[in-house]
Amino acid sequence: MKTDQTTTAPKMAGPYLPQTASKPAVARETRNGKTSPKAEAPSQRVNDTGLICMANPEAVDTIKLYNWADRSKWYGPNGRGGFCHYSDSQTKSLIAESGFNRNIKDGQGNTAADRAQLWLTQNHSVAYAGPLSGHPVGLHTYGDRRFLVTECPSQLTPRPGDWPTIRRLIESLLADPEHPQVAIFYTWAAASFSAYWRRMNSPGPWSFHFCPALAIFGPRQCGKSALIDLVLVPMFGGRKGDPMNYLREQRFNKDLFAAPLLVLDDKGASANLAERRERGERMKDLIWKEQQRMEGKGVDALMLSPFWRLVIAGNNDDAGLQVCPALSPSLEDKLLILLARPAEGLPAGHEANAEWVRAIQNELPAFAAFLLSYCPPPTLPLNERSRVATFQHPELVAALRDMQPEMRLFELMDGLSLIAADTPCWEGSATEFERAMRGKDNDGILDRIFTTGTSAGRMLSELARVYPDRVEKRNWNGTAHYRILRAKSQSTPTR
């Protein structure tokens, strides 16, 4: 009878698997009548702080695997130059493909791949993994925390050249014989794109640059949406986010952290003045604070540093203007407001539109090169903090103020004859002003204006800023005191 002499091929040791021939004899110990391998001294495998000791940590460190500990997720390279989620099995497979054997166990029951994975868990952990606007793909460190940016948006390659279609769109859309709106827009766009370009093409850390929000209001179909969607969005990686839900509720804003450009349009219009005032305060947080709180559903919130530029667009009628936050002194240097007119050269018909869009797409690299080299005209005053012009178009400011109740109150001061005929002015505190006005209001009009106990003081303070020739504010012993003067002629609001 023949004996089966089939020979099993010996297991080949990988570069990080010790040769079995040189493996020392395993010490054994007997407990309760049973013999088992004796455990290795912990100091040989784990250091005093509990970290895995590897004979070849440099080799493990080269494996591009990262662990988002809070989510128990592994991330590794994908075929598009970024990172994607790996299952635990896929993680072990990549470790094995990197030369760490996953079959032969040591005396503790771990393979070389198991120990490498433990080392990576401890040394390649990150506080966040995902897209982050204004950050190239890869590992980033902020203080004592590390983040893995997994996606990179498409980028333009600036190339000097002509951009007549884009130029005509911008310069006819924002043409204004009395105000340098075109130069103001170019200054904002150049400052914003240059900051974004530097972040995406140079190693960090990067300085945070405050930049005001840009609001454009004009007639329907005048070209403002084309400027945003065909020019600005591609300049900033082709991604835009809608912050309206976050501005209303301040919750679940994770989707915004992938988009460099945040865009508000008419869908966010609100006739509620209190909501629009609160929106202005929250908008300031979006553009003023470097650290932003990211909150997703079902996960803990964390602080990140996205790159954001905020753009607002709407029609220049009452309904469209309601997307704009209520004006306040604190928004003067944080909100550019431009008035648009119908742009020239807008296409008519599907075929003409397709050709026009292609022309704009072909000109984007040249426009990007223009912005990177743009210098504002010396006659344009710039804000010291943002290096961008501070400008709010007077026509739009007047329309926005007419929508705010202090303007109605301003009219009622004369309509209800607050100032007696034989006196040049009225003087008193905000409480005394409200009492005097209500005493003359027989129709209850003021019930819709004085909605809170502080309404009178807040409105008088705003009127003192806008109409200083009619309303004066002084502090007497720590209390605000107001003087309301009789109208000499039609007052002109100041900026």
> What CA dihedral angle connects 71, 74, 76 and 78, to 10 degrees?
-60
User: Given this model, what pLDDT does residue 345 score?
Assistant: 95
Contacts of 250 (CB under 8 A, 6+ apart): 282
Q: For tokens 């501005």, name the residue.
A: 247
> pLDDT tier at 42 (50, 70, 90 boundaries)?
very low
- Give the Cβ contact number of residue 260 at 10 Å: 27
User: Given this model, what pLDDT does residue 495 score?
Assistant: 52
**Average pLDDT, integer, range 146-153:** 93
User: Given this model, what pLDDT does residue 26 score?
Assistant: 41
User: Given this model, what pLDDT does residue 466 score?
Assistant: 83
User: Given this model, what pLDDT does residue 10 score?
Assistant: 42
User: Given this model, what pLDDT does residue 70 score?
Assistant: 87
Q: Are 396 and 494 contacting, i.e. CB atoms less than 8 angstroms apart?
A: no
**Average pLDDT, integer, range 57-66:** 96
Structure-model confidence comparison of residues 120 and 271, the more confident one: 120
In the chain, the amino acid numbered 338 is L
CA distances from 6 to 2, 3, 21 (A): 12, 9, 22
Q: For tokens 């992938």, name the residue.
A: 258
Residue 153 has pLDDT above 60, yes or no: yes
Among 1.10.3470, 1.10.3210, 1.10.10, 3.40.190, name the CATH number for the domain at 404-485: 1.10.10
Tens digits of residue pLDDT in 175-222: 999 999 999 999 999 999 999 999 999 887 888 988 999 999 999 999
> Rounded to an integer, what distance in angstroms lies between the CA atom of residue 361 and that of residue 189?
17
> pLDDT tier at 59 (50, 70, 90 boundaries)?
very high
**Average pLDDT, integer, range 114-130:** 95
328: burial class by Cβ within 10 Å (0-12, 13-18, 19+)?
middle
Residue 445 has pLDDT above 50, yes or no: yes
**Average pLDDT, integer, range 455-479:** 90
Tens digits of residue pLDDT in 24-34: 444 444 545 54
- In whole numbers, what is the pLDDT of the chain averaged over residues? 88
> pLDDT tier at 16 (50, 70, 90 boundaries)?
very low
Query: Within its chain, how far is the Cα of 288 from the centroid?
Result: 10
Question: What ranges do the domains of the chain cover?
Answer: 36-126, 164-400, 404-485
> Which residues pair with residue 37 across a beta bridge?
28
Considering the domain 164-400 in this protein, what is its CATH number? 3.40.50
> Rounded to an integer, what distance in angstroms lies between the CA atom of residue 292 and that of residue 243?
13
Tens digits of residue pLDDT in 81-105: 999 999 999 999 999 999 999 999 9
Q: Are 314 and 269 contacting, i.e. CB atoms less than 8 angstroms apart?
A: yes
Tens digits of residue pLDDT in 377-436: 999 999 988 899 999 999 999 899 888 888 889 889 989 999 998 899 999 999 999 999
> What CA dihedral angle connects 385, 388, 394 and 397, to 10 degrees?
-60
Tens digits of residue pLDDT in 249-291: 877 899 999 999 999 998 878 777 778 888 888 999 888 899 9
**Average pLDDT, integer, range 34-49:** 61
> pLDDT tier at 157 (50, 70, 90 boundaries)?
very high
Same CATH topology for 164-400 and 404-485? no
**What values do phi and psi take at 491, rounded to 5?**
-80, 145
> pLDDT tier at 489 (50, 70, 90 boundaries)?
low
